[in-house]
Each structure stands twice: as C-alpha cells, then as structure tokens.
Structure 1
Amino acid sequence: MSSKELPPSTSPFFPNIFFYNQFRAKPSWPPASTNLTGQVAIITGGNAGLGYECAMQLLSLRLTHLILAVRSPSRGEAAASKLRHAYPKSTIDVWPLDMSSYDSIQTFTARISSQLPRLDTVILNAGVRHTNFLSVPGTGHEETIQVNYLSTVLLTILLLPILKTKSPSGIPGRITIINAALALLPKLPSVDDDAPLLKSFDSPAQYDANGHYCMSKLFAHAFLYKLVDYVSADDVVVNLADPAFVKGTGLIRDVNTVGKVFMALFGALCGRTVKVGASTFVDAAVVKGKESHGCFLMSWKIEPFNSSLYTSDGERAVEQLWRETMDELAFADVRGVLQSMKKGL
C-alpha cells in the first residue's frame, strides 16, 4: 500500500518513532546483483555529506554517468576530482545549480533537456536549515521554505517530462526527494481562503528555525499527496526518503558553538553514520520499485504521511497549499506540465 492509502500513524509520542528509526531499524543494502551500467544520475548537493556519500554508493554500483548539481562549482569540482580518482571508468560532471534561484533551476533543466540523451535517476538532496531568518531577494520568501519546498517542487515538476522521455522505454525515471522524520512533528496550519498560507512564513518576527524546517518537510508530504493524482508510476516514480539523524553532515553548520558541541555529542550517541544514512537514498531511488511511488520512506520502509493530512482540516490545507504553490510557480507553466503528465494522457 502507498503512504496515501495507509492508515495514519497512531503513535502518540514522536520519541517512539525516533527511537525505532535510530536504534531498531536495520539497514537495507542493494542486492549484490545491482548494476547501474549505462545509467545516468543527478544528485543535487552532491559535493559533501550525505550527497557525496550517495554519489560514492551509486558509483560503486557501476553507474556510468553522474552529475553533481551544486551551488559552488569549485567545491563541486573538488568533490568530483576525488570521485573520478576512485571510479575512473565513470563520467562525473559538475553542473551549477542554485536552489534559491528560479532562473537557475530553469536553466539547469533546460540544459538537461538539450544535453543529456538519457536520464534515469535524480536525487534531490540539497536543503537548508538556518538558525537566523534569511529572505531570498528574488522571491521574498524565507529561505528554508524557499529551498526545501518551493524550489524543490519547481525542480521536481520540470524534471517530470524530461525523465518520462529520457528514461529507457518501459522503465520509469526516478525522483527521490530527501525528507525527514521531523516532518511528522507539526500539523498542517489551519487555513483561511482570505489569508495566504505560504506568505505567513515570510515574517522575521514569526521565524522559528526548527519549526520552519519541520514545516518545509511537511509541505513536501502535502505536495506528494497531490502529485500522485497527476503522475503515473509507469512514467516517473517520485518518493520521499528520510535518512534519519546522521552525524557528521553540514546541515547544522550555522548553529552557534554551544549548539555544535551539543549536536556533536548527540550525534556520537544517537546518529547514524553517513554511509547508513545515504543508503536510504540509494534504496529509495534504485532498489524500491513502482510500489514506492508517492510514498514517504522511513527506515527503508513505506510509512504513512504526516497524520494531519488525513483529516478534513488537513485536506483543506493541502488544497490551499497546492493552489498557492501552483500560483507561485505559474511563470514556469507548472499546471501545464502536470496536465501533460496526467495519468492516461
């Protein structure tokens, strides 16, 4: 059953979910027969941390062509150089992509359309979590919501027809969006047709670093909840993957010294290794099949979405968020793109 079809979780206490995810769940590694020869994959934010480790794991499965989509080309090239040394038979390229810029996303997808004859897999790993409020000048949105939700949605939608046409006949393309168990913590906000939902997160006075981060991940649940109405698993498989809490990543790089010490200690006690965390990406993008389309994957298993999506209030919030998102991204004709992907067309 898909996440949408599963009954909502009845676990009353988030630490129960955290404990199982961190300490009880057993890693699921690709079968020894997994062979990605001939395939082409893109990883956003693939120059460090989980993205870099994911790149290593895909290349170890004999991936033929890897593209690191990164904000800093120099850092991307430094990472690519190490990967090329470890896997000299693979082609490894670095393409610029700024997830804070709609223009950059459109340029990036246009380049894929014109330059890649084949594309099998895209792993959307780029994300941010800021201690202090930051606004994106080009859009006016708070950067966590911008990058983790709005820009990720735009990139996902623009990739859909590309993957549909550039993946081998009879084999759906794959998009795995990195998510988090923290998406299960908040509830979708109550909505009012006269009060915009997305803009309510753009006020510095209302900024909550953890709250905005968790909500950005919950919004991804809401997006996928609706996306399956338009996209067939026969064309493109889209899923969300939670790596759990992983020690040694750059997600907390802008916290203060005390926070870094605490998170380092917490990671030493509770954190997954980067290798185990990245294996959840590979599992979602390579191992799982069509059954994972439209699903939230946690602990290498299909799990329900955030429970608030299954309520009448949650359904109204999902619809309003969808409308506002489509309006925000109308400049890229996202409605037209989705209509072209509509099941049965």
Structure 2
Amino acid sequence: MGSTPSFPRVSIPKDNISVVTGGNTGVGYHTAKWLAMMGGTVIIACRSEERAKQAIEQMNKEFEEEKEKKTTGIVDYDQLNVEFMSLDCNSLKSVISFVEAYKSSGRKLHKLFCNAGIGQQDKLSYTEDGHEQIFQVNYLSQFLLVSHLLPLMKASGPDCRIILVSSIGHLFAHFDPVDVELKKYSEPECKSDKLYQNSKLCQIMQMYRLNEVLKDTNVTVFSLHPGTVRTELLTTFKRGMMKYVISMLETVGASKSPFEGAWTSLNAGINPELAGVRDVYFSDSKPTTPASAARNKSYQAALWDYSIECLKGYLPDDILSGLQ
C-alpha cells in the first residue's frame, strides 16, 4: 500500500452513512472503500450501475485481502456495506431523482463527498439543461445535490460534513462575475482547462458561503486538493496550463496513486479533531490558503446568486430558505 496512510483509522458505526459521488473509480473509489472498511455504510452515486457493481465487487475482494493481512483499523464484517444509487451530474433531473430516491429510503446522511468530476474536454459542450458541461458536472449539479440534502443532514445528528473535492487548478482560474460559466469562449477559442479551473474555484467559494449559511448548525463544509493523482481524469489534460503543471509534478515525483489521493478526503471526512471546524481548504491533509479569488466575498456572493438563478426551477421555497 506504499507509505503510511495520512488519515486516522477510526471506528465508524454501521448506521453512519456517507454518499460519495463518483465513488466507482479513482479517488472516490478508495474513499468509499475505506469508509466502508472502517465500518460505515456507503452509497456510491454515479452514472453506471454496471461499473458501480464491478467496483463494489472489487472493493470486497480487496477487503478480504486486507483482513487476511490483519490490517489494523478495519472491521470484521462478512462484506462491506456499499450500495449503488444512480446519479448523472450531466442532468439536473437526475440529481432530483437521486434526492427523491435517497429521501424515500428513510436513511440519515452524515457525510457527503462531492467527488465526481470531469477534466479537459475536446470541445465546448453543453448539457441538456443548457449549462457548460464542466461547470455543471463539477459544480452546479453537486450544488443542487447539497441544497436538497442539507435538511436531511441537519436532522442526522452531530458532526455531519460536506467535502468538496477541488483542485490545485483553481489557482489558475479567472472568475468573471458577469460570465460565471465563461460562455464568452466561442468554439475555436475554447480552452477547457480554463473551464475546469473555474469549476474547481467555484467549489472553494461554495465552501465559504455554505459555511456562513450553516454556521449555527451541525453541518460543516471542507474543500481540498487531493494531489496530482494518477486517474482517468488526469489523462484528459493534453494541453494548456494544467498539462504543464501535471507534467512538472510528475517529473519531480509528486504524483500520487488513487489510494494516496483519497487520504485528504478521508482525513477531512472522518478526523475527530476536525469536528466543528469550518472554512478549511486542505492539500495533503494540511490546511492551505487557497487563491485570493476563492476568498473574495463579492465573488462568492455573485456565484451564489448565479447558482440559485440557474436552479430556480429546482429549488422549492423550503429548500431555498435553507440557503439564506
């Protein structure tokens, strides 16, 4: 497994429930697996049921291997408590369907890992909802998911956490309050690394604004950079600033395995010392100062207002009131 894991091995009760978007692959896979191996119940929220079932089967195989090695900090269950639920962040309707299915299950929700994301695209693409695809998948759909699940998290007991998986790429983003989705880029000019960077900046701004809204509640929000992780997403960056940064980090041996990439997410989600802590952006599990644009309150307000305007058809009054 490599070097010593930098996340605490804690005992998680079976009735402590986490949702991991994009939990069937990469960082999300290892986040989900370890949450379950420490005892919790985990919902993998992703598009493909087939890929999710394959991931769950592989998790249980690796779980058996860990038990044979007598790895410390894992439970002795017969199999992991991991389930699949359908979620396609390309579709706002899919988000609402997920929310309705989750609420009808009667479950509580203690941890929400907004991990799903896409990287650089070959061409400018828009979703069925009319939004730039990277913006919607990486940010807007998960904003909608958070908004609808907040009431449930508030009612689920102490120390509930939302983890927004961002990226070092946010440092190179340019936020435009007048053109939040950077729609001014026409097809020939499209540089989707800028769109990716912008989406990751939005996640950190969301953390700050959400924590203001939730300051007197049991729900806290973190954001983080998981590292330069050797995943499918990494291979999408074939040009632009992100390709340069990734190449440089790989050259100096600073890239990580997907398991190592999950350490920061796991630490943010389960470290008992972080109970009640807010407004922290982590890199390598260490508090780090994000870009000044992420901390700009006027930018945060502009993004918040724009997000709500984009989602006005999906935010009934009872949900909207919880965002104010």
Is this a same-fold pair by TM over 0.5?
A: yes
- Whether the 8 Å CA contact 1:56–1:83 is kept in 2: the answer is yes
Aligned counterparts of 2:255 and 2:216: Cα–Cα separation in 1:
33
The residue correspondences of 1:1-345 to structure 2 (distance < 5 A) are: 28-30=6-8, 32-63=9-40, 65-85=41-61, 86=63, 88-165=78-155, 167-168=156-157, 171-189=158-176, 191=177, 195-198=178-181, 200=183, 203-232=186-215, 234-247=217-230, 249-254=231-236, 267=250, 269-287=253-271, 289-310=274-295, 314-333=296-315, 336-340=318-322
TM-score norm. by structure 1 comes to 0.78
By how many angstroms is 1:205 displaced? 3.7
Which letter maps to 1:75?
Answer: R
Amino acid at match of 1:299: D
Query: Structure 1: which amino acid aligns with 2:160?
Result: G
TM-score under structure 2 length normalisation: 0.83
Contact 1:131 1:254 in 2 (8 A): yes
Name the SS of the counterpart of 1:200 in structure 2: coil
Structure 2 residue identity aligned to 1:76: A
- Compute the displacement of 1:73 (Å): 0.8
Q: Note if contact 1:198-1:324 (Cα within 8 Å) is conserved in structure 2.
A: no
Listed as ranges, the gaps of 5+ residues in structure 2 are: 64-76
8 A contact 1:230–1:339 mirrored in 2: no
Q: What percentage of residue pairs aligned between the two structures are identical?
A: 25
Counterpart amino acid of 1:317? Y
- Work out the CA distance in 2 between the residues paired with 1:96 and 1:158: 16
Question: For 1:114-140, what per-residue CA distance to the aligned partner results, in whole angstroms no more than 9, with x for missing partners?
Answer: 103322212111000123224234122
- Per the TM alignment, residue 82 of structure 1 is displaced from its structure 2 partner at its CA by 2.0
2:42–2:83: 8 Å Cα contact kept in structure 1? yes
Runs of 5+ in structure 1 lacking a partner? 1-25
2:72 aligns with none
Q: Which moved more, 1:68-77 or 1:116-125?
A: 116-125
User: What is the CA RMSD across the aligned residues, in angstroms?
Assistant: 2.8
Q: Which of 1 and 2 has higher RCO (CA within 8 Å, sep 6+)? A: 1
- For 1:112 and 1:300, how far apart are their aligned partners in 2? 30
Q: Deviations over 1:71-115 (max 9, x none)?
A: 111111111122234363432211111011000000101111110
Cα distance 1:318–1:122, how it changes in 2: closer, same or farther (>3 A)?
closer
- Identify the range of structure 1 (282-291 vs 43-52) with the bigger mean alpha-carbon deviation: 282-291
- How many residue pairs get aligned? The number is 302
SS at match of 2:128: coil
Following superposition, which runs of at least 4 residues in structure 1 exceed 6 angstroms of deviation?
262-265
